[in-house]
Amino acid sequence: MARAPINGTTLRWARETLMMDRDELARAAQTTAERIAEFEAGSPPTLRQLSLMATRLDRPPAFFFTVPPDMPDVPAAPDFRGRAAGGLPPALAKQLRRAERRRVTLLELEDSIPSPTLPGATTRENVNNRADEFRAALGLSQDSPAPAGDRNEALKVWVDLLERHGYLVFQTTRIAIETYRGVSISHDKLPIVLLNGSDSPAGKIFTLFHEVAHIANRTSGLCVLNNRVGAETVANAFSAAFLMPTSAVREQLARLQGSPISLADALADRFKVSPLATGIRLRTLALIDEEALNQIWREADKRAATSRESQRSAGGHPPPWRLRYRDLGRPYVGAVARALEDERIDWLDAAYLLDARVPMAEQIFDEYHRAAAGS
């Protein structure tokens, strides 16, 4: 049986970079953790084992015949989830690595990349002013209504607005919402926001601007929007203030009455956000107390769990190319499409950059052109 004389140190580097244990890699390679240890110590795997390990570690097989890089290529993301242990799950580490790789690709393919429009450094004390300033920088007044349409349409509008102001927004598929809600990676050009595709549209909208606050404060990180963590509290308050300007909230409240939960629900419908987002906004404006916010939070968690269970029971998913287009985002897919049209890359290059085979790459480009025609 043919063997592959790989560099065992490189195999170990690739596994540890993705924070994967030997048991998980062994399952992918259809072998044992002990054999993985032997491969890392210099014993050559079979060609099939190498292929399976390379796929799981998201590397080309040829990579394992070289010496390991000096530094990991998964961007650092401080953990704001408020958990004592655990670290970054391998599936999310892989997505962070891919997001960073796509950013580099976009910089190589595009001649002109604008500097991002950023809020100023944000604190508990200035969060309302910073949110107002950021709205103005994006061309929005304090009286600008929420985007038209449902929350899915509103999400597209907000994502497009940030992309046109120098941000990269990606999404992930098949990572549990309990793992993370959003990740931000700060850069002087093309800062990255990574959203969990399993979240609701309203949840993604709130997370989107939560991560903008982290980028503004250079506190890029891994988030579940934990309101008991200091940096998370500021980011939550910024997102709520941006999406729900003070004057607009007070104007709506003048027409409403009821319990904190009913008020949060009514405001959520008005601003196309989640009741949890409106609860946070009411709290930052000192219009409800901490116990009322906790009540809204508990109700939001209960509804979210019920909604996710309903989705799982209903079954059915969008076509894979549509999900891939959503995850990659308009700017990235557009840059690859233009490079292909200009014959700077060929179809095999394009398929590789889209993490797809050629037939799916064609469908992804079709989705991009349909979306561009409808915008």
Q: Which CATH class is domain 8-58?
A: mainly alpha
Give the dihedral of Cα atoms 298, 304, 305, 307; nearest 10 deg: 150
Sheet of strand 182-185: strand arrangement: 168-172, 192-196, 182-185, 222-223
Q: Are 53 and 123 in contact (CB under 8 A)?
A: no
Q: How many other C-beta atoms lie within 10 A of the C-beta of residue 133?
A: 15
Tens-place pLDDT, residues 100-136: 999 999 999 998 898 999 999 999 999 999 999 999 9
Please report, for the chain, the start and end positions of each structural domain, with discontinuous segments joined by +: 8-58, 93-100+112-309, 318-374
Q: Are 295 and 261 in contact (CB under 8 A)?
A: yes
Location of structure tokens 């398929």: 351
State the average pLDDT over residues 194-203. 94
- Residue 168 in 3-state DSSP? strand
Distance CA 206, CA 227 (A): 13
Check whether 342 has a pLDDT greater than 70.
Answer: yes
Query: What average pLDDT does the chain have?
Result: 91
The 8 Å CB, 24+ separation contacts for 46-49 are 46/1, 46/2, 46/3, 46/4, 47/2, 47/3, 47/4, 49/4
**Overall pTM surpassing 0.75 (yes/no):** yes
**Which string of DSSP letters, residue by residue, matches 9-48?**
HHHHHHHHHTT--HHHHHHHHTS-HHHHHHHHHTPPPBHH
Highest mean pLDDT: which of 38-52, 214-228, 250-264? 38-52
Distance CA 269, CA 273 (A): 7
